[in-house]
Amino acid sequence: MSQSQYQTLPEQKDVFADYNDDPLEDFRAEDGSYQWAYAVDLHKDLFMLEVVFIALGISFLLILGTMLFASGGRGIDLQTAAILLGCFLVIGLIGLGSWWFVSAMYGWTSGMLFRMDEEGIDMRQVKDQAEKTELIAKAAALTGALTHNYGTMAAGLNASADAHSTFKNVTGISGERRRNRITVRSVIFFNMIYVDDDHYDAVFDYLVQHCPNARVKDQ
C-alpha cells in the first residue's frame, strides 16, 4: 500500500468523530438533562381511554367499599347495586364520547414532550395545535437521520410538566415495546413514557438503574 493511501486514514476517522455508543446522548440538552418528543397515534394507542376507564373503575370500587362499610356488614341490596352500576355505565359512555371528541379535535395525534434527569422524569402533553404541528414536523424530519438532536428540539418548545415522577418514589416500571411505552408507577400515581424504537432500551435501562425501589416488568 502506498504512503498516499495511508494519508487518507485521519480524514476517514473524522467522519465518525462525533459518533457515540450511548443512544441517550441523542437526547442530551444544554442543561445536561435528556429531552425528547413523541407523537402518539390515537388510532393505535388508546392510553387516554384506558386512563378514563381506570379512573371510573377506581371510583366505582371506592364508592362500593364505602357503601359496604356504611351498611355495617349487612351488604347492599341488588337494586341499589344495579342503580350504582347503571350510573357508572352511563358515565362510561359519556367518557367514551368525550374521548372520541377530544381525540378527533386533536387530529388523532397526541404530542408529548419528556424531560429526564438524575432525580426524575417529566411529561408534558402538547395541547396547542400550532406547537403540536411543529413538534410532529421536526420529529418526522429527524427520523432516520444519523445524528438526532432531539434535546434541542424538545427544549425549543414551551415545557411545563403535566406529570412528574420522582425516581426515589417509583414502585414499578412496566415496559410495552410494541407500543413504545414505559409506565412508571408510584403508590398513587403513574406516568406514561413514550420513546422510539432506537432509544427504547436506553431509556428503559436508565429508568431501571435510577429507580432502586421499583419492580420491573418488560414485555
Mean residue pLDDT across the chain: 76
* 56/23 same-domain check: no
* 182/75 same-domain check: no
* 115/27 same-domain check: yes
* 92/12 same-domain check: no
Specify the number of domains making up the chain.
2
CB 174 within 8 A of CB 217: yes
CATH number for the domain spanning 150: value is: 2.30.29.30
Phi, psi at residue 152, to the nearest 5°? -65, -40
| Percent of the chain whose predicted confidence (pLDDT) is above 90 | 29
Q: What is the pLDDT of residues 98-124, one digit of tens each?
A: 778 877 877 788 888 899 999 999 998
- Closest by CA to 36, choosing from 149, 184, 144, 134, is 149
DSSP 8-state class, residue 28: B
Q: Which of 68, 84, 105 is the last residue of a domain?
A: 105
Structural domain for 187, as ranges? 3-42+108-218
* 101/117 same-domain check: no
* 162/70 same-domain check: no
Phi, psi at residue 180, to the nearest 5°? 55, 35
The model carries a pTM of: 0.68
User: Would you say residue 173 has pLDDT above 60?
Assistant: yes
In the block, cell 364505602 appears at 66
Q: Which of 105, 122, 140 is the last residue of a domain?
A: 105
Q: Which of 84, 105, 126 is the last residue of a domain?
A: 105
pLDDT (0 to 100) of residue 116: 95
* 168/75 same-domain check: no
User: Would you say residue 127 has pLDDT above 60?
Assistant: yes
Cell numbers for 203, please give them.
431509556
User: Would you say residue 67 has pLDDT above 90?
Assistant: no
* 120/30 same-domain check: yes
Q: Please state whether beta strands 215-218 and 172-176 pair in parallel, antiparallel, or not at all (unpaired).
A: parallel
